[in-house]
Amino acid sequence: MSKPVIATTSLAGCFGCHMSILDIDERILQLIELVEFNKSPVDDIKTFTKPVDIGIIEGGCCNSENVEVLRSFRKNCKILISLGECAIMGGLPAMRNGIPVEECIEEAYLNGPTVQLNKERILPNDDELPMLLDRVYPCHEIVKIDYFLPGCPPRADLIWEALVALITGNPLKLPYEVVKFD
Ligand code: SF4
């Protein structure tokens, strides 16, 4: 029988949630027995090569590329999980949400205390660059999300229990100590 297929991505995140996936430690050997990874930084597969059963999203959407990737995950994955506070509510990147985009760009490239080498006051303007969104969006405001695993990052035990429950169809055991919201 073929194994369930998993894909993961990091949008506007710090890869801490992916590190927490790896923090399942030696259980990663069991995970490899249980599932096959497709598009993911874990195996460095860049594009979907088959339908995916479980898509795991780290990070919210701060630019047009994030939205494109998230929509492609929704299209290619039967189940989509928002992993961590950035995916669930925007997290730290959403601290810019109360500031106009123009002001953020000017602070980053023109007026910030660490800007020293931009004497011609050039702002990034290449067509290849993703466009910043007006604010950082949690994933469920862009596409339908099936499950939310909280934490910054979520505990490895929570990720493990959730994945095993989804893969085996068994009820999810959620002892208080595996769930955290910070
Ligand atoms: S939730 Fe925390 S660990 Fe995960 S991507 Fe955001 S800042 Fe990083």
Is the CB of residue 157 below 6 angstroms from any atom belonging to ligand 1?
Answer: no
Give the helix/strand (H/E) hosting 73.
helix 64-76
Q: What is the predicted pLDDT for the residue at 99?
A: 96
Is the CB of residue 92 below 6 angstroms from any atom belonging to ligand 1?
Answer: yes
Query: Which pTM value belongs to this model?
Result: 0.93
| Centre of ligand 1 from the C-alpha of residue 120, in Å | 35
pLDDT tens, N- to C-terminus, the chain (182 residues) = 789 999 999 999 999 999 999 999 999 999 999 999 999 999 999 999 999 999 999 999 999 999 999 999 999 999 999 999 999 999 999 999 999 999 999 999 999 998 888 888 999 989 999 999 999 999 999 999 999 999 999 999 999 999 999 999 988 877 788 887 77
Cα 2 to Cα 34: distance, rounded to the nearest angstrom: 10
| Centre of ligand 1 from the C-alpha of residue 18, in Å | 9
Identify which of 9, 11, 14, 23 to mutate to test ligand 1's pocket (most ligand atoms within 8 A of the CB).
14
Give the gyration radius of the chain's Cα atoms: 18
Cα 25 to Cα 8: distance, rounded to the nearest angstrom: 18
Is the CB of residue 17 below 6 angstroms from any atom belonging to ligand 1?
Answer: yes
Q: What is the predicted pLDDT for the residue at 171?
A: 85
Question: Is 123 buried (19+), middle (13-18) or exposed (0-12) by CB count in 10 A?
Answer: exposed
**Cα dihedral sign, 119-120-122-126:** negative
